Structures are given as structure tokens and as C-alpha cells.
Chains A and B, each alone.
Chain A
């Protein structure tokens, strides 16, 4: 069996060194310490459909990171075996990189465990949104990205009981958002 590792790139996220969180490994990009590799080794995943299950776990973990820290969804870099070459991170303009500390790793681990243990509609929404957001992040075409995000968004407002779509969107904002929420939206 090949030793398979999926690698993602977290832009503008700094970690003090290599850290394992809930089966994921975060490590600084050697060429650019302001970026971080997010790796998941799914060689020893016990389930038969390990690739599919692992992909779901990656989607979920990435979404948890993104929601918790309001960072860009991790970009997929490569799947490689241990002997394979890594894809080099390309240079990007750096703003103020987010620096993860131990308490952040605890928080991420706790949140991820919580999401994984969710059941029912909440979990369904999470899995669906996570899948379409990953699709968006894997697309380099801005129109395709937008459409993937829209499908994810549709799952959030779609259950509102109104006739027209614009009414559902309005209703969703009205029921989901209060004044505090509206103010933090732009934070």
C-alpha cells in the first residue's frame, strides 16, 4: 500500500512548528513561514471506502478552520506518497499572518470533535456546505467558484417557507441575523 498524504495550503497562517491536531498535521511551509501546510495521512484509515471518508474528514476539518478563524478555505496542493516531490508554495502578498498557538489547536480540536459528533440536520448542512466550498476552493474560475458557493448558500436559505427565492433570502437574513450579528458580519 502506498503511503498517501493529502496536502493543503493555508495562506497567512503561521504555526510555531509541526503540530498534530485530531489526525491532521500542521507544519510551516519551509519556503514561506507565513504559510502552513495542512496534511492528512490517510494510508491507515481503517474503513474500506477510506478515500471517500478521508475526503469528508478533510472537508469538515478545513471548514471548521475556515469558520473558526474566518480564513480562506485551505487550497488543495497535492496528494503524494512520501517519496514524491512536494509542490512549492508560490509567493503571495502577505498581510498580517494569523499565528496559531497551543490554545488555538485545543480550540480547533474541540470544535472539530463537536462537528464530527453532530447528527441530523445540522450535520447534513455541514457536510453539504463543506463539499461545495471545497469544490469552490478547487476551482480557478471565478464564475465556477461563485456557482459552487451559491449552491452551498442555497442549502442554508432554501428551507425558508416563502414563494420567491428573493423572499427566502430576505427571510433567512431576517431570521438568522440580529443587529449584533449584522455588525460582526463585516468584521
Chain B
């Protein structure tokens, strides 16, 4: 498990496209083409652009995580406001976004509830 889930960045840089994390990020970035930016916050639009740039340049930091969270927020807006439907091609993008969102929640719990003591 540790081998499959570890070293996302290394995976990405080595273009191991079968990694679910890579697939999810690519899905999310592809999703910006399907988002109607006229209806989306400029900040979210900016986050999609920045995430694409950072991933292209392999610059991964807290800002990457923030951009990622805002991109997921963009997906949330598109679903909540009805711009993405249950039947169209956005299904794949939502799958990627929910996968990353779950990771964000898990990490949030670890940090927010001081779970670091669990680690060896």
C-alpha cells in the first residue's frame, strides 16, 4: 500500500499515468475546459491556471495544495449550481475531484485533530 500510494510527485514526474492521483489531477485540470468561467469565481479560475503551471513546472508546495482545494471548490460550484449534470461528460472529472477531496479530508483530520502522535 505504501508503495502504491507513496511518492506521488515522483510518479507524476516519471509520467506513470496509471497512478490514480495523476489521473485525478489530470481529470481536474481537464475539467477547466468544461467549466463555464463566466459563472465561476475569478479566484477559482486563477487557481486552475496556477495548478496547471505548477504541475507543469513540478513546483509542489502549500500553494499547490491551496490551488488544488480551490479547483475542487470550482467543481463543487459547478455541481451545486447545476452547471454539471448527472448525465454528461463531467462524471469523470467529478470522480477525480472526489478522490482528491477525500485525501484532503483525511489529511485535514490528521492535522486538525492532532493525530501526528499516531505516526511511529
Contacts and interface: CB of A to CB of B under 8 A. Distances in A.
Contacts of A187: 5-8
A174 B101 contact: no
Given A67-B115, A153-B105, A153-B108, A142 B4 contact: no
Contacts of A71: 1
Given A170-B70, A173-B65, A182-B64, A149 B105 contact: yes
B4 A96 contact: yes
A52 B118 CA distance: 28
B26 interface: no
A170 B66 contact: yes
A150 to B, nearest CB: 5
Given A149-B98, A150-B101, A166-B73, A186 B8 contact: yes
Interface stretch (A17-25, A37-45, A122-130): A122-130
B105 A185 contact: no
B113 interface: yes
Given A142-B98, A174-B62, A129 B109 contact: yes
B53 to A, nearest CB: 16
B54 to A, nearest CB: 11
Contacts of B101: 146, 149-150, 153
Measured as residues with beta carbon below 8 angstroms from the partner, the interface class of chain A is: 35 or more
B60 A182 contact: yes
Contacts of A150: 76, 101
A176 interface: yes
A68, A118, A157, A170: residue with the most chain B Cβ atoms closer than 10 Å: A170
Interface in A62-101: 63, 66-71, 73, 95-98
Interface string A143-187: 101110110110011000000111001101110111101111111
15 contacts: A67-B110, A70-B1, A70-B5, A70-B103, A73-B102, A96-B4, A125-B109, A147-B79, A153-B105, A156-B112, A166-B44, A181-B62, A182-B64, A185-B65, A186-B8
Interface of B: 1-9, 21, 41, 43-44, 60-62, 64-66, 69-70, 73, 75-76, 79-80, 84, 86, 91, 94-95, 97-98, 101-115, 118
Interface of A: 12-13, 63, 66-71, 73, 95-98, 107, 110-111, 114, 118, 122, 125-126, 129, 133, 136, 141-143, 145-147, 149-150, 152-153, 156-157, 164-166, 169-170, 172-174, 176-179, 181-187
